[in-house]
Copies of this chain bind each other. A is one copy, B any other.
Amino acid sequence: METKVILTEKEMPTSWYNIQADLPEPLPPVLHPGTGQPVGPADLAPLFPMELIKQEVSQERYIEIPEEVQEIYRIWRPTPLVRAYRLEKALDTPARIYYKYEGVSPAGSHKPNTAVAQAYYNMKEGVKRIATETGAGQWGSALSMGCMFFGIELKVYMVKISYQQKPYRRVMMETWGAKCVPSPSPDTKAGRDVLARDPDCTGSLGIAISEAVEDAVSRDDTKYALGSVLNHVLLHQTIVGQEAKKQLEKIDAYPDIIIGCIGGGSNFAGVYLPFVKDKIEGKKPDLRIINVEPEACPTVTKGPYAYDFGDEAMLTPLIKMYTLGHSFVPPPVHAGGLRYHGMAPIICHLHKLGLVEARAEYQIPIFKAALQFARTEGHIPAPEPAHAIKVVIDEALKCKESGEKKTILLALSGHGHFDLGAYDEFLSGKLQDYEYPKEKVEEALAKLPKM
């Protein structure tokens, strides 16, 4: 009875899967905030290398992974698919639970999958320096590693509350050679403006994005990089889902339910997009895909589907997405990677089309689920994927009631070795929960751009 399904390096997918080739309806265009017209490659050229701009709108079904990127992936990929026998037993469920585990990467999460690719394309086009933002620090550290591999200088604007709560993340970035500052920072106009309004602002992903974008457009040698939300980021993460699919095929299995957490959406979309393809093609019409988000920042479950800015300072193009408003600053839940006002347009589009569903969960039950996972499977999950674990447990318990032997695939995007402070709060009974901040959201939604 095998516990893991593993792939050899030769079985590692050599191309990323692009869902845009298979969407029943195309994605709504990204709009220029000044003109209201769809943005073109020239509009994005100050921010991204041309190859990534092309990937953003490509209709090619498969995009080859450059050999130099594959070489780096092979340091830790393919990642394991693990059968959660012990969790199943503890739940006394007939469900079969598998988790795709990205915690084995040097950064401890899925983020390097796109970080390495983005650094590579920047290097290929002669970019010397990149500016980016980071929430909980996963993206900043992953991109630090990516840039290190290709000799690119990196500056990271890190959401201040995470910068303070997770000093080790900063050190990790510095270990890989990057520079990291707390955001809002005095280094940009966007940061200075926020600090002038609110010197004690703990920051948000939206503000940090503004700073990084401003840094990039104000310097000729610098481009910008985003760790989630955009199509090309989700594209790069499909290596995860393609591997998982191959792994399940090897044991003649196919998921009935796929469950993951969404902040910007890239980790989970990376897992499920190759399966959505089958659903669109009618091969698996009853496949359920559950996106799980925090009740404190319930973008898809409570936000309107509308055009909004990706950032606080309204520097990005307008994106059609579920949003809580670009000026919304979510409560400081420990799942820092899920504190974003918007959501990947691809996920929003699939949700609108009824191909995927969403659910919001509270922080305290999340940590209860995380503890049950750690105390059965061993691995201590990061608070972000713990959101998904909560729902996996709920669904597995439903199977217990109904007697259904469903196959559940869990996207376990990273380990919680940097999040033990949060576990400490939970274990000592000090963890507080945050209701959906309805009034703050309404205030932010009033500032949505008028279309």
Using CB atoms and an 8 Å cutoff, list the residues of chain A in contact with chain B.
Answer: 1-4, 6, 8-10, 71-72, 74-76, 80, 82, 85-86, 104, 106, 108, 112, 145, 148-149, 167-168, 171-172, 174-177, 371, 374-375, 377-380, 415, 417-418, 420-421, 423-424, 427
Contact = CB atoms under 8 A, between A and B. Distances in A.
A425 to B, nearest CB: 9
B82 A75 contact: yes
A255 to B, nearest CB: 20
A116 B427 CA distance: 24
B3 A75 contact: yes
Nearest to A177: B375
B420 A417 contact: no
26 contacts: A2-B9, A2-B74, A3-B9, A4-B9, A6-B6, A6-B8, A72-B378, A75-B379, A76-B80, A86-B149, A106-B379, A106-B415, A112-B378, A167-B420, A167-B424, A168-B417, A168-B420, A168-B424, A172-B420, A172-B423, A174-B424, A174-B427, A175-B374, A175-B420, A176-B375, A417-B418
A176 B2 contact: no
Nearest to A378: B106
Contact of A176 (B3, B8, B374): B374
Given A168-B421, A171-B424, A375 B2 contact: no
B378 A149 contact: yes
B9 A171 contact: no
A427 B171 CA distance: 8
Contact of A172 (B4, B108, B168, B380): B380
Contacts of A86: 149
Nearest to A5: B9
A378 B145 contact: yes
Contacts of A176: 374-375
A379 B72 CA distance: 11
Contacts of A9: 2-4, 6
Contacts of A380: 106, 172, 175
Given A75-B3, A82-B75, A175-B427, A417 B108 contact: yes
Contacts of A71: 1, 3, 85
Contacts of A378: 72, 75-76, 106, 112, 145, 148-149
Nearest to A71: B3
Given A2-B74, A374-B175, A417-B417, A104 B104 contact: yes
Contacts of A75: 3-4, 82, 377-379
Contacts of A421: 168, 171
A148 B4 CA distance: 21
Contacts of A4: 9, 74-75
A175 B371 contact: yes
Contacts of A108: 417
Contacts of A145: 378
A10 B377 CA distance: 20
Nearest to A375: B148
